Amino acid sequence: MDLTSYAELAVLLINSPDRLTCLEGLRALLEEGGRYRPGCRITRGDLDALRDLREELIVIFETAAGGDEDGVVDRLNSLLIQHPVQPQISGHDGERWHMHLTEGGRMADQYAVGAVMGLATLVTDLGVDRLGLCQAAPCRRAFLDTSSNRSRRYCSERCASRANVAAYRARRKGNGQ
Ligand SMILES: [Zn+2]
Ligand SMILES: [Zn+2]
């Protein structure tokens, strides 16, 4: 299994505050992350737990943006303790045998285990500086920088061009035109 790709679950959670207001939204979020299984039970408790996790993940991305690698590692280590991996082989819904990181707990716990393990794997395989927050204020959406020269600064093309336009206007103003 490709654990690095699980880090996308953390990004999805950070970037979807509007989905964390009701159970319908949460279901849509889980579907988007490929984590929804028909018939699985989701409750208000899941919603609360994922909102809390989102806050903790934002702090991790902010800590990374501030260049505090030890701080990121400390926070990830404590999340790894809170959300331990308990791997199980599963073959549900006629799929091939595959690994689940955990079977226990609520939906939110399973999501958390994936997101945290994904971030931990990404950070150890590729580096803490791969965790990014969009620089096109006021956006601040999270992204994973997988560019070869680690130069990504924006969450999307849209934000990149918005920032370019703003910089161009600022330069013109500076030149007194
Ligand atoms: Zn499965
Ligand atoms: Zn952005």
Per-residue pLDDT of 11-66, as tens digits, reads 999 999 999 999 999 999 999 998 888 788 899 999 999 999 999 999 999 999 99
Task: Inform me whether the pLDDT recorded for 84 exceeds 90.
Answer: yes
Q: Cα(131) to centroid of ligand 1, in Å? A: 27
| Confidence at 175, pLDDT banded by 50, 70, 90 | confident
Predicted pLDDT of residue 12: 97
Q: What is the pLDDT of residue 157?
A: 94
- Beta-carbon contacts of 117 under 8 Å, excluding residues fewer than 6 positions away, are 3, 6, 80, 83, 85, 101
Nearest-angstrom CA–CA distance, 21 and 2: 30
Q: What's the pLDDT tens digit per position in 123-134?
A: 999 999 999 999
Token pair 């690095």 in the structure block, residue: 4
Ligand number, closest to the Cα atom of 163: 2
Which residues fall inside 5 Å of ion ligand 1, going by CB? 90
Cα of 153 vs centre of ligand 2, distance in Å, is: 9
Confidence at 110, pLDDT banded by 50, 70, 90: very high
